Each structure stands twice: as structure tokens, then as C-alpha cells.
Structure 1
Amino acid sequence: MKDRKKEGKGKKRVLSHRRLLLLVLLTLFFAAIIYKDNKTVGVTHYEIASDRLPASFDHFRVVQLSDLHDAEFGENHHDLVKRVKMLTPNAIFITGDFIDSNRYDLDRSLRLIEELQFVAPFYFVTGNHEIATNDVERIKEELEKLDVRVLSNESLYLKGDAGDLIAIGGIEDPLSKGSDDAKTVEEFTAKTFRDVPDSMFTMLLSHRPEQFDKYVEAGIDLTFSGHAHGGQVRIPGLGGLISPGQGWFPHYTSGIHEQDGSRMVISRGLGNSIVPIRLFNQPEIVVVTLRTI
């Protein structure tokens, strides 16, 4: 009888140890996921092909950085800078929320530009957090000192090797006007491309992906957007959980969306804001390679 009791206690101890080991392993597993999804940076590659793109822009490579929110990946952004340099972009697009209005540290974010200043031309548009600081003009001035082209409801032309042109435009975040977002985006987009020929390939930098219908209506070939943070928590097989401007289970959180010949690339972004943790949603550098057909 005593032997049976000892054997039963031994089995219970083994079971208890196994449960403890399982708990430790699960804790380490989720800690590794949280670290990866908040402290490391991944790279997502897309190809966008269009018969409207001039031949001299075939293989033109854009790196998109969005929603940094004053985050830092390594000392002086070393990890992020190293990855961007390896991608050898022709242009770098910053699609808003470069800083965070809740823990505003402009100098920290500007160090990223300083480290990448001579890698490729920079193009920038505001997000809602730049507007919310009430310091947006200084932000723009500091960026322009570092040769960043700030696009404020305006467009410019890029010239290819054969003299071909494409247009890049950028709009201010609609918070800058403080009225109906959809109407403001429609107004700003029309103003930005009013002098651009309809036959020309157009790229738009705009922070808000939920306004995709307005970019489609404007006939934009390719829009770069962010803001949604990938839905903050990504549920495998379903997508993002929540996004500003879209609420629960948002539609526009990542990837490429297409409608009536207009396409939109959405970055999951790099940093966090009000919600401090991402899950199954690694910070992202987006790379878009343009191809002619």
C-alpha cells in the first residue's frame, strides 16, 4: 500500500513538473513573438506592373517607411538603416506619423533621415500625429533642411533616362482641415493632380487607407498609405483586429488593394502609439518595384 502511495505521489510530481515546463516553454514562445513583433523589422516585397508606366521606370524601386511613431530600431536606428541601405531604393516614401504626438521626440526620428540622407531622395506627407503636435511647420522645416521633399497637396515630376515623366503627389492628412475626412481627401487629391495630364502614370502618398475610394475616383495609378498599423493584432487567416478610422476587423490594413485599375499599397508601419504592443504583426519596411508591361 505504501509503495502504491509513493508511486502515486511520484506520478503527480512528474505531471506537475511537466506542466511547469510547458508553462515556461509557452511563456518563452510568446515572449519571443512579442519581441519579434515589436523590436525587429521585416521586409515585404511587391511588384506593381502597369502598361501606363514608361519603359525608363522599369525596375524603379520604392522603399516605403510609415508610422515610425518615434520608435528606434537599434542605436541611431542601426537595424532599420542597414536594411534600407541593402535594398538600394530609387526613392524613399514616408507616409505619415513619422513622430508620435503622445511622446514627441523629433530629434530621435530625424536621426533616421540623417543616417539615410544620401541613400535615395526622400518624399514625405503628414499623418494625423504630425498635425496633432501643433508643431507641424517646424517638423516640415527640419525635414526640408535634410533635403526631404515635403509634399503638401502638391505633385512633382520625375524624369526617366529617356526623358519620360511620371508624377508623384502627396496630400496633407485630413486632420489638418478638421472637416469631413472623405470630402477633404477628395479636395486635396484633386488639387494635387490638377495640372497632371491624365495620360501620365501617377503615384500618391496619403496617410489614410480607408479613403481608397477617393483615390480610385481620382484615377490614381498607385497610392502608398499606412495609418492602420496592420490592425495592431493580426489574427491568422482573418487579418487585423482594429484600426483608427475603420474600427473592428478593418478591411484596409496591409498588402495591395486594387479597384478599377487603381492600386493601393498599405504598410503595416514600424512603431506603435496608443496601443503599445503588436501581435503577429511585425514592423514592416515595404519595397515596391515598378514594372512595365
Structure 2
Amino acid sequence: MSSRDVARRTALGVLGTGAVAGAALTAYAVVEARAYTLRRVTVPMLPPGAPSLRVLHLSDVHLTPGQRRKREWLRGLAELRPDLVVDTGDNLAHRDAVPAVLDGLGELLDVPGVFVFGSNDYFEPSLRNPVRYLLPDDGRRNTDTAQLPWRELRDSLSGAGWTDLTNRRASVEVRGLRIACAGVDDPHLGYDRLDLVSGAADPEAHLRLGVTHAPYLRVLDRFAADGYDAVLAGHTHGGQVCLPGVGALTTNCDLEPARAKGLHRHPATSRPGDPGSSWLHVSAGLGTSPYARIRVACRPEATLLTLIESTTPTTV
């Protein structure tokens, strides 16, 4: 056999191995995107003597009418019997998805809840090059597609008793505790109006929560400076594609990848009790773009946050 034949066979073997590895990775990523996971986190932020609170954090469901398995899993979260539901947006991924979202929320709509919207509640998703998410933000936003029925979703959630925190402050009572809440419209689209919600959080409230879809630093800084005990956000998909030993590659905002998901402090170097600081919980979310239903080393999730008196937090 000539050296040319050997080289050709070697090259074909390498290509074949690469193709098999690529197919295996794609298959794994497809399975990972459907491996819905419940995270449990304990956060010490309540005053002495307060009863613990179970807060269910939902984000980035990106639901389409045909995603029955996701809808059934979401509906089953009512069995957790949360005291409060916080929905940080991007519920929709299809113009006909509002009934599916309401069906998926099911009995959770009977629980006190608060919500804000993200860009994918407002605008229909489109097919885009996923590599763009790994590049620096160029400021372009997907606002040239058809609008989704966000008004219908807003009215349905509000009609069920959930509180709309779109550039608003509000008070919610849960288990005898008064929770002062402030929320902003999607910062990724520049819809946030911090001027409408800025100011010291209610010092008489038992708990103070800031709510946003995208965890942009300007929003986190404002809520922390105003005295909110915690800020809840989504948007990042936890990076969606993560690498072992590296973690998330991007957050699709100006939050650093090290805090792309999970429980952290803000500012990142602060400690509990530091003035002008807060807890930060970023949900990796339950969904993906309907055009790229893959996740790598970052399972879709909802999180049950158990809020307790100040101690050391634990995560499962």
C-alpha cells in the first residue's frame, strides 16, 4: 500500500471518528435539553422568628404548544406546595403558546405569585446563528419579528392573582410576612425603567425581593444599593453550553459567566450583612430556542428556594 493510500485512509478514519463524536455530542445535547431538573437551595435572609418560606423560581420556559412533556413536568411542580412563585420571564416561544403556559402552570396559579417578562414574551423567536451568543454583544436585538400575545398572558396571570412587577413596586403578603417587591421590564431590550422603582426598599417589610428577567449589572447594582435582600433573574440559560472545568461560556448580558446560574452574592465579592449588597439567584431556566433545542452540561431547571433565618446557605 502506498504512502498516499495510508494517508487517505488515516484521514478518512479521523473524519469518521469526528463525525461519530459530533453525532454523539448532538444526541447528548438533545437529551440534556429535556432532562428537566429541580434544584433546591436554602438561603438565609429572613429575620429572627420568621417562618421559613418556599419560593419557586421559574424562568425561560420558552414553551410551544407541542411540548407536552415539559408542560406536564411544570404542572407537577405544584406538588412542592410553594408559598410564592416568582416567574422571571420568557414564558412563550410560539404565538399560540399562552393556553399551554397556563395549563403548565396549573395549580401554581392558585399560589401567590409575581412576574416580569423577557424579550421572548414580546417577540416571536427566529432562526439565528447560535455562534452569535458566544461573541461580544453587538447591541442588536430581535425586535423585527411578529409580536407574541404578551398582553393576553399578562392579563391571564394578573387575573389569577399574580402581581405584575413590570417597572413597578408592590407588596405581597405570604404566611403572615410582608414582602416588598420591585421589578423591571426586560433590561436586555432596554425596557427597564429603574427611575420608576428606585429608592430605599421598605425597611418595615419582613423580606425585600428584586425581580428582573436579565441580570444586567445596572439592575443588580440598583436593587442591592436600595436594600433588597435578594434579586431573582433568568435569561442566561446558565450559559446553555458549558464546558467541564470551565463552566458557562456566555451569559448574553454583562454578568460574568461565573455567575451564569445558581446562588451568589452581589456584588460578587460581598458577604451577607455588607451594606449595599444582596443575594442573587440566577435560574438556568427550563427551555431553549425552539430552533436549537440543545443544552450541554446545563440541564433545564426550576429552583425551590427555601428562605430561612440567617445561617449558612446550602445547595443540593
TM-score (norm 2): 0.70
What is aligned with 2:278? 262
Amino acid at match of 2:98: L
Q: Does 1:169 align with 2:192?
A: no
CA distance in 2: counterparts of 1:107 and 1:45, whole angstroms: 28
What is aligned with 1:116? 108
What is aligned with 1:16? none
CA distance in 1: counterparts of 2:226 and 2:108, whole angstroms: 32
What is aligned with 1:85? 78
What is aligned with 1:53? 47
Q: Does 1:97 align with 2:113?
A: no
User: In the superposition, relative to structure 1, how do residues 208 and 76 fare at CA in structure 2: closer, same or farther (>3 Å)?
Assistant: closer
Alpha-carbon displacement from aligned partner over 1:181-237 (angstroms, at most 9, x marks no partner): 6xx3x324316x66x236753012211212222222222111110001111201122
What is aligned with 1:9? none
Could you say what secondary structure the match of 1:291 adopts? strand
What is aligned with 2:131? none
* TM superposition shift of 1:27: 7.3
Check the 8 A contact 1:122/1:148 in 2, yes or no. yes
CA distance in 2: counterparts of 1:256 and 1:24, whole angstroms: 38
User: In the superposition, relative to structure 1, how do residues 68 and 188 fare at CA in structure 2: closer, same or farther (>3 Å)?
Assistant: farther
CA distance in 1: counterparts of 2:152 and 2:79, whole angstroms: 31
What is aligned with 1:220? 228
Normalized per residue, which structure has more helix? 1
Could you say what secondary structure the match of 1:271 adopts? coil
Overall identity of the aligned pairs, in %: 24
Check the 8 A contact 2:74/2:105 in 1, yes or no. no
Larger radius of gyration between Structure 1 and Structure 2: 1
Check the 8 A contact 1:95/1:225 in 2, yes or no. yes
User: In the superposition, relative to structure 1, how do residues 104 and 264 fare at CA in structure 2: closer, same or farther (>3 Å)?
Assistant: farther
Q: Does 1:237 align with 2:250?
A: no
What is aligned with 1:288? 305
User: In the superposition, relative to structure 1, how do residues 46 and 188 fare at CA in structure 2: closer, same or farther (>3 Å)?
Assistant: farther
The CA RMSD measured in Å over matched residues stands at 3.4
Q: How many residue pairs are counted as aligned between the two chains?
A: 263
| Structure 1: gaps of 5 or more residues | 1-18
Q: Does 1:131 align with 2:131?
A: no
What is aligned with 1:154? 169
CA distance in 2: counterparts of 1:34 and 1:176, whole angstroms: 28
Q: Which runs of 4+ in 1 moved over 3 A?
A: 22-32, 71-76, 174-178
User: In the superposition, relative to structure 1, how do residues 88 and 231 fare at CA in structure 2: closer, same or farther (>3 Å)?
Assistant: same
Amino acid at match of 1:292: E
Check the 8 A contact 1:39/1:73 in 2, yes or no. no
User: In the superposition, relative to structure 1, how do residues 31 and 128 fare at CA in structure 2: closer, same or farther (>3 Å)?
Assistant: closer
CA distance in 2: counterparts of 1:238 and 1:145, whole angstroms: 44
Amino acid at match of 2:102: L
TM-score (norm 1): 0.75
Q: Does 1:250 align with 2:257?
A: yes
What is aligned with 2:137? none
Amino acid at match of 2:156: E
Could you say what secondary structure the match of 2:90 adopts? coil
User: In the superposition, relative to structure 1, how do residues 269 and 281 fare at CA in structure 2: closer, same or farther (>3 Å)?
Assistant: same
* TM superposition shift of 1:245: 2.0
Could you say what secondary structure the match of 1:287 adopts? strand
Could you say what secondary structure the match of 2:298 adopts? coil
Query: Which sits farther off after the overlay, 226-235 or 166-175?
Result: 166-175
Alpha-carbon displacement from aligned partner over 1:35-77 (angstroms, at most 9, x marks no partner): 4321121111111113x5352332x111111001115754571
* TM superposition shift of 1:160: 3.8
